[in-house]
Structures are given as C-alpha cells and as structure tokens.
Amino acid sequence: MIITDLLGSRVFGPDFLGFVSDVRFFLESETEGQSARLYGILISPHARSSSLGFERSGVRSPWPIAALVRWRHRGSFLVRWSDIERLEVGRIQLRPGFERASPELP
C-alpha cells in the first residue's frame, strides 16, 4: 500500500464524516532505521487538500492564510488505527463507537 491510497479517501462512520487530509506516524526514537508506525488518520469534514498544518499547531501568522486554512479545515479530528474497521479504494470505514481525538501536534 502507498500513502496516496489513503490521502483524500472518503471516511465513513455511521454516516459520511469527511476526507483523509493527512496520516500520522510515530517514531519511538530518532535513531537510524527506527520504524515509523501509523498512529492514525486526520479527517477533515470539508476539504481533501493538505492543510499546511495550521490546525495542528499554534501558528497564527500570516493571519489571512491561517484564518482561511483553519476555516477550511474546521472540525478536523484524528482517528487512531485501532478504530479503522475496513480499508477500500477511496473509502475508509470506522468501527462503531470510534473515538475522535484532537488533530494537534505536541
């Protein structure tokens, strides 16, 4: 599987939730050759495109761009790998009772 199989996919819970706008990975350390494990998918209810990270950080400038991008990606959330029930071409189904997490990065 390649990452573009996931990006832009339509995500469904009980109903349509949004599009995969990014995929989050976790490295346990930064030593050479460390595995990068898929942690979850970021879902944007309104936009397929990348959001430049404005909604995942405290960056507020340049304010017109930050405000526009935050508005386009309002309501974004993260769903962890364990809440993904099924992957299909262009479609992801989440488990019943999936948990919405904040998209913010530390």
Interface residue list for other proteins (CB under 8 A): 1-5, 7, 21-30, 32-33, 35-40, 42, 50, 52-53, 56, 77-78, 81-82, 84-89, 95, 99-106
Instruction: Compute the least distance from the CB of residue 15 to other proteins, in Å.
Output: 19
Instruction: Compute the least distance from the CB of residue 43 to other proteins, in Å.
Output: 11
For other proteins, the closer of residues 67 and 91 by Cβ is 91
DSSP string over 51-77: -TTGGGS----SHHHHHHHHHHTTT-E
For other proteins, the closer of residues 53 and 71 by Cβ is 53
DSSP string over 81-106: GGGEEEEETTEEEEPTT---B-----
